[in-house]
Amino acid sequence: MTGTNYSKRTVFRTIAATPSCSWPSYDSTPLYDRASLTALESDIRVVSAIWFEHDQHNSIEQFVSSLPLEYFRFDAHDRYASSARYEMDSLFRVFVLRELHGWDHETLLVEYLDSHPKIREELGLDGVPDQSTLWRSWNQRFTTGLCETVEAAARTILITAQNEGVDVPHEPKQKFRHRLDDSEDSELDDKTVLEQAAKLTDHVSRIVFPAFSLERGEGCEIHENAYWSLQTYLGLREGLAANEGARSFTYESSRERTPLGHAHRDHIRDLSIPEVREMYRQAIRQLIDEVAETEQFFRAGIVAIDITEADPFTGDRTGHEDEIIGTKEQNDEYAYQWATVQLVGNAVPTVLDARPVRKGETRLEIVEDLLDSAENLVHVDNVLMDREFDSHHVLEMISQRGLSYVVPKRMQTSEKAQAKRLLQRDQDRYETDRKLHLGKNEWHETTLIYRRKEDSDHDDHRQYSVFMTNGASGHLTEYGYRWEIESGYRSIKRFMAATTSKDFGLRFFYFAFACLLYSIWRAVDLLVQVELTGEYEHSPIVTADNTLTLLKKETGIG
């Protein structure tokens, strides 16, 4: 079925109404302009994702001809000093079409254009370019960056269309062309890994960081990248605060102007928590768009929700009682708390969203909010949570979404009695159905699974753990993936800048930015492994410190 003007308008109305979609990208952040190739690639991702969801849009050729390009400044990527017969935007569409069909030479492209006059007209061509014209355009007129954008655009279109069941001419090409030949030494020495990590870190950072914006207006002397460079720099050294870090950053940076510590903090304080969360989600969406083009990413499906605490707060919290709240442990300490939803299991570990925890918020509100974000970014099958989310209404909400869950249950009198009976029978495992009362004669049906702990130090009912699940009992084996969250939190806190400020927004920004650095690290490691070996092993081969060092280099330090 051929798309219509109405179906096309529907696509762009959907984009405009979707908060997580930013199109065109150059208008969403000062870090992009109308000549930014990274912004153009982002725009093609955004439009294609919505375009092929429409029932009438089942033609990749029509997408190429309908893609809005009028705003983009192709002249910045045109090596020809004088005008030529064919416009750059038309040639861009032509070469994207060539990549979509996988033609290595111009001969098949010329034949295709000659036999499809309607498509030729839609591409903006007043005739059929000859082979030599096309060869010169690609090899001499287009910059290297524009050629790479053509290849990236075609790959994105193929993957997006294929995911929506649209017929495509061939499988997408590998993302990068630096793969080691079979004849080369397959030993992954540190130099090879770091060289590849440097390329990919540069690529990823140019895509992700523009999602963050301080909205300082025009004419600012200090480039916005300098603020993100400083924030990354603060994450390089444990316990480094903004003032001290800004002074060191001035000497280590290659920039002429760098932010002062107090100016850096003031700009961040001006960001509201909803603004920080929205920027974070946009950055993660960009990051996922990159790693999703590897088949290894599509093993996603399990997310874990948890709450972490900052170090115990020892100062005066007057006026901040709703933000500096009690810890999860039963003690007299107070702490800032942050909740996250993360990809775990065989997927690349990624913090999909983060949010602060305030006094009075229910676990139901927190889980609903984080699952909304997660399901807007990835396909979710199973939700893993800690014992603090043992809530009948939380479990019912997850079930209503069609998702499975695994949650440890607090052992009450009945569970302790059952565990004692199992101990007497020397039984390691036991399952039983249970109805949980929701109120007003409403019930949630779940399954309790008793599992004996290995090498327990206890000789009573505490030898057993009790889990609740609405899925198959095999899901219980997946609960072990939750440990990745604790491991991830340790790395995230390693990436955080130090501060003594009580400002809730500033504190949250520091945590969210550390989550972003952690997610970039794991994404870069995935891409490096796939690029060099064609496989992904969960244990990183690129270290967190290496990634931070590369990020500080790519964002303007040294």
Amino acid at position 439, single letter: G
Q: Which stretches of the chain score pLDDT less than 50?
A: 176-186, 555-558
For 48, half-sphere exposure in the C-beta direction (CA atoms, 13 angstrom radius) is 28
> What is residue 256's predicted lDDT score, i.e. its pLDDT?
60
CA 349, chain centre distance (Å): 10
Q: Give 313's DSSP letter.
A: B
Amino acid at position 394, single letter: V
Contact 68, 46 (CB under 8 A): no
Coil, strand, or helix at residue 99?
A: helix
Helix axes 190-208, 37-51, angle to 10 degrees: 70
Q: Two tokens at 341? A: 């939803």
CA 112, chain centre distance (Å): 38
C-alpha span between 476 and 494 (Å, rounded):
30
Reduce the secondary structure of 397-446 to three states and give it as a string. HHHHCCCEEEEECCCCHHHHHHHHHHHHCCCCEEEEEEEEEEECCEEEEE
Amino acid at position 32, single letter: Y
Nearest to 40 by CA among 214, 217, 225, 207: 207
C-alpha span between 198 and 204 (Å, rounded):
10
Coil, strand, or helix at residue 303?
A: strand
> What is residue 219's predicted lDDT score, i.e. its pLDDT?
56
Q: Give 230's DSSP letter.
A: H
Coil, strand, or helix at residue 507?
A: helix
Amino acid at position 382, single letter: N
For 163-205, how does the pLDDT look when each residue is reduced to its tens digit (9 = 90+)?
788 888 877 765 543 333 333 444 556 777 777 777 777 777 7
Query: What phi, psi does 505 have (nearest 5°)?
Result: -65, -40
From the CB of residue 154, how many other CB atoms can be counted at a distance below 10 Å?
23
> What is residue 23's predicted lDDT score, i.e. its pLDDT?
82
From the CB of residue 493, how many other CB atoms can be counted at a distance below 10 Å?
16
H-helix segments, 70-130 = 88-101, 106-115, 117-122
Per-position DSSP letters for 194-208, written without gaps between them:
HHHHHHHHHHHHHHH
Nearest to 472 by CA among 382, 366, 534: 382
Here the contacts of 259-268 (C-beta below 8 Å, separation 24 or greater) are 259/222, 259/226, 259/227, 259/230, 264/227, 264/230, 264/231, 265/499, 265/501, 265/506, 267/214, 267/216, 267/227, 268/214, 268/505, 268/506, 268/509
Task: Please tell me whether the overall predicted TM-score, pTM, comes out greater than 0.85 for this model.
Answer: no
> What is residue 182's predicted lDDT score, i.e. its pLDDT?
39
> What is residue 373's predicted lDDT score, i.e. its pLDDT?
92
Distances from the Cα of 431 to the Cα of 302, 385, 447, angstroms: 23, 19, 7
C-alpha span between 349 and 340 (Å, rounded):
12
